[in-house]
Amino acid sequence: MPKQRIHRLGDLQLGIMQVLWARREATVAEMHQALNEQRNLAYTTVATMLRKMDERGLVAHRAEGRTFIYFPRVAAEDVSRSMVDHWVERLFGGSLLEAVNHLLTTREVSADELRRLEQLIAERKRSRRGG
């Protein structure tokens, strides 16, 4: 089985990826506009980060004239899995039980969310038993 790539993204990198996953592609100008709805960034900051992310293989681009159009090269699911796995390892010594316990005791959890968690656990138990 090939080794899973580890994706550790900072806040700006994650914000860029979220915009690209939602839009499928964007120019630096479009990315700058979308990101500035939540933060005050220089255009050059966004352009530099996209270039670095391109070098890391997180995004790629194609040229249309003098404009680069960027698109994601990694899936949202792969990034979230990698980041959550890293979080569980670093903060909870790899214990899913400790991570879930932390979330359940430190966050407001609605009755609907608890019911859905119970359903997910039941589904997982059934799939482990083979049906």
Q: Could you read off the pLDDT of 95-116 as tens digits, one per residue? A: 999 999 999 999 999 999 999 9
Q: Tell me how far CA of residue 3 lies from CA of 15, 32, 69, 82, 93, in angstroms.
A: 26, 34, 30, 12, 21
Tens of pLDDT, residues 27-79: 999 999 999 988 899 999 999 999 999 999 999 999 999 999 999 999 999 99
Domain spans in the chain, listed from the N-terminal domain onward? 11-72, 76-129
Give the pLDDT confidence of 73-85 residue by residue, as tens digits: 999 999 999 889 9
Residue whose tokens read 């003098």? 66
pLDDT at residue 131 in the model: 56
Q: Is this prediction's pTM over 0.95? A: no
Q: Order of strands across the sheet with 67-72?
A: 26-27, 67-72, 59-64
58-61 contacts, C-beta under 8 A, 24 or more apart:
58/7, 58/9, 58/13, 58/17, 59/16, 59/17, 59/20
The fold for domain 11-72 equals Arc Repressor Mutant, subunit A (1.10.10)
